[in-house]
Structure 1
């Protein structure tokens, strides 16, 4: 996520140029919700501390959505409230949709996780430091492919106020082929594929492109058919053209005053292009936690869902630069991450004007989704994590109450 975080800082500086056009921050109204007045008070105070304009959240207990809430504003200037149905881009949580699409393609027999990816591509992808070592989809999906995000190139992916002028395939070909305008040996680690973990957005973009070629369909229509429509995710899409403008949250940077920034799209959209609401995402997240099914709608069969969520690193087969036990431990599913030393599973996202989390406990008994339409610096971000912790505590309380009732 380093390149994304760097871009957030760049956009913050850019947004400061527009600060004179922004009115004074609007005070978030006090409110109560089904989660309890105490939770409301924590969220509203931490929003103020962190400069967050809007927040949306959901709590999942025993694979059921038990609470959703919205606070502050989707559009402060027009006084439009942020609700669980407000739509915004979700950053790298989008990779879980790419991961699910990948596993759906595996389920359909269109791809294999452990075949050289060059079997699926119209151009060659070869690590110049290890030309005889194949790169696989499993490695792309667990961030062990050896592909790295060269910041000067990756940051050109973001198109503010419009769409990309280059296709996903065209960008990737230029990044990976020696005569491409974005090619460099520095696009690859010197470690052999599979030996080192380095988070790669461009690697995720490549995985999404392979899925598109294998299934003969772009990710936006493929995921709509197999995920959005069956799950009733009516407020979800990949591109700005798919979402009515009135449903979209405005995005902000906390830079003293909270400054609005233009909406944007990414060339490498499989790594961060999904736009959805808290309510819609809760359906998808619950389906993944429930072995691929939500309220009778099955989006993945059990083996495919199980493989997506399974910890892929083991003592016998793990990158050399990670611990899978103890302090600073990390593991990975198929575009499925661990946080808090493997005490949480799911994914998070960070982009200009965006901070999102979608995490559950490893037993899948409780889960929390948290959106804000405001990107923050390191100091302000602590308030965001305090909101997440308060939501998590409430989720655990609701779990205990549910267990007591069953007992």
Structure 2
């Protein structure tokens, strides 16, 4: 009986301690974020951003999350952390996870010639004997360029694009194709020059489709969205509840203009539609060696390979300074390599998903409004900076003895 009483007492003591710790943590977060509302509301109003959502992640846990402004200005529908919107090139990180999953399944290799997987050939006419690999595609060193105005044509306003990804890519890379040109390539050997390539990312996603026998949206739903309970996330309009999708706006001039929603032919490069709250689960999984609350997306070794800096003194693109830029597998650095993650920019869209190098403090931030570059730097990144500083304060307070 004494043993039972002792166990009950210990359990009660532990539960009380946990409750006290939780209350202390809540108080710490409330204190640190007390001034955030006024700061963000002022910046949103000054900038003309219609809606904004953000989250702060500390030690792989969401400690703060909130929405501001409107998802639909005309109907005064608020922008919340559950509002869905397309996140631009952050989508490439999902393509990266799918790629690493296929590597785990031994269906492809990052370092084999991509032509062994494709039903058509991709050959750089400037260096036809050099192989292009998935690692080149994922680190933007493939020598594949986004030729304009061809790349602009991948946007389909009014809904999902009726053009199939594979048919577009074939017409872009196969001599004689509708969109083929030498200008689709750089006069540089693969691995020697960094040129950000959306079409290269689309090609990587297509290769995942070929080797797995599943469309990328189906494969990622099976291996990412469903396990993480990202139930309101998808690549296409047909996969989400449009009633929860934000409207998009352009404020690059003095007049605010609504932008018609759009899809993309090269959807693996930028078409994921999700919310701040659901993206936080995915980001935490990557920061936490591939795992989120008992759900494992990738093996630790795969995440390590995805996130490690691929550019080194002995192996770097000729146009890169290592203290300014580096890259992983569809994973990037920002702010002179002091942040890791990815960002996204598209018509009416600006997003960031960034952590410090220790992965202890991270921020997710969305806006549904395009601003002039100078204004984006001042306001959007001004808010980002404040969120990250707040995350640092929370981390420091939580780690004090």
Q: Cα deviation per residue 1:136-191 (whole Å; 9 max; x = unaligned)?
A: 00000000000000121000000111222321000000000101010000100001
1:232 aligns with 2:232: no
When normalised by structure 2's length, the TM-score is: 0.91
Q: After the TM superposition, which residues 306-321 of structure 1 pair with which residues of structure 2 at under 5 Å, given as runs?
A: 306-321=304-319
Question: Within 1, Cα distance between the matches of 2:353 and 2:87?
Answer: 10
Structure 2: any 5+ residue segments left out of the alignment? 1-28
**Structure-1 residue corresponding to 2:381:** 385
**Structure-2 residue corresponding to 1:87:** 84
TM-superposed CA distance for 1:380, in Å, is: 1.8
Q: After the TM superposition, which residues 170-185 of structure 1 pair with which residues of structure 2 at under 5 Å, given as runs?
A: 170-185=167-182
**Structure-2 residue corresponding to 1:58:** 55
Structure 1: any 5+ residue segments left out of the alignment? 1-32
Q: Cα deviation per residue 1:295-330 (whole Å; 9 max; x = unaligned)?
A: 0000101111111101111111111110113xxx11
Q: Which has the larger radius of gyration?
A: 2
When normalised by structure 1's length, the TM-score is: 0.90
Q: Cα deviation per residue 1:21-45 (whole Å; 9 max; x = unaligned)?
A: xxxxxxxxxxxx9563411111111
**Structure-2 residue corresponding to 1:40:** 37
1:285 aligns with 2:283: yes
Contact 1:251 1:262 (8 Å CA) reproduced:
yes
The equivalent position to 2:94 in structure 1, one of 97, 118, 126, is 97
**Structure-1 residue corresponding to 2:160:** 163
Secondary structure of the corresponding residue to residue 151 of structure 1? coil
**Structure-1 residue corresponding to 2:133:** 136
Question: Within 2, Cα distance between the matches of 1:259 and 1:237?
Answer: 26
Q: After the TM superposition, which residues 197-216 of structure 1 pair with which residues of structure 2 at under 5 Å, given as runs?
A: 197-216=194-213
Secondary structure of the corresponding residue to residue 102 of structure 2? helix
Contact 1:128 1:185 (8 Å CA) reproduced:
yes
What is the root-mean-square deviation in Å for CA atoms of aligned residues? 1.0
Contact 1:142 1:332 (8 Å CA) reproduced:
yes
**Structure-2 residue corresponding to 1:331:** 326
Secondary structure of the corresponding residue to residue 392 of structure 2? helix
TM-superposed CA distance for 1:256, in Å, is: 2.1
